[in-house]
Amino acid sequence: MPKSRRDVVAIVRWILLLACWPLWLTVAYASPFYAPPPPQEDAPVFSGDAELGFTRLSGNTDSQTLIGKTLLTWLTGNFTYSLRGEVRNVTKDDETSAEQYLVAGRERYELDGPHYLFGFARWEKDRFAGYDQQLSAIGGYGRQILENDTHVFSLEAGPGYRHDRLREHGDYRLAVAYTALDYHWFFSDYADIQQEMSFEYTDQNTTSRSLTALTARLNSKLSLRLSHEIKHNSQPPDDTSERTDNTTSASLLYRW
């Protein structure tokens, strides 16, 4: 067996061992890095990912978890458009402990050379983060620092606007300075590691997001993924107990 194939088999076995994690999902790719990557020459005009995950425990522990995600991407000339949505709901002993919704639209315009312009709008609602809802609009400039068969590295930054609606303290309209990075390491023909980070700075707080993912491809449509996502708010509302949310999952990824 070729070395690269043996490496992938070892990775797949490792991920399958972690599949007993309570959140075994059929997962779509949902990224804190909002710019879609540059399209390949043979990329389809329309593509997408889909997720629907459900876990239920009964007996000594009575809980259920529902996660749904989708990402749609389409190409028009130099433009790449994407639309994504997320729903998360966790209940334990008939009490809700997590409830999150997100809808985001994004466009990327390719310039000459390794440059692009971007703009996106995002709506979020997180019942246990202290916000009734958040609406953001951000645009700016991005650059492909690396793009070859092994490494892909992008940086982007720009200004924006965010409207925070707090349940107990009214509305805040904030100017935003946004930066992000996206790195892919394709260490074999069948597997890659991805690291994405984004930061949104305002005079009220700084919101940082990180996604680290190991993906092993099974075929052209199915992959296994082990990922860890972090969202940190430097100054959350007073009625929020934690500044950082962590999500770890072993998942099955489907793309078309």
Percent of the chain scoring above 70 in pLDDT:
79
CA-nearest of 151, 214, 139 to 178 is: 139
> Which fold does the domain 5-255 belong to in CATH?
Porin (2.40.160)
Neighbours of 93 (CB within 10 A): 8
pLDDT (tens digit per residue) in 160-177: 999 998 877 778 899 999
At residue 23, the pLDDT reads 34
In the numeric block, which tokens belong to residue 14?
């490792």
For 127-148, what is the mean pLDDT? 88
pLDDT (tens digit per residue) in 31-85: 445 555 666 667 778 887 776 666 666 665 677 777 777 788 888 888 889 888 8
Between residues 242 and 152, the one the model is more confident about: 152
For 235-252, what is the mean pLDDT? 77
| Cα Rg of the chain (Å, integer) | 19
Give phi and psi for 131, each to the nearest 5.
-105, 135
pTM: 0.77
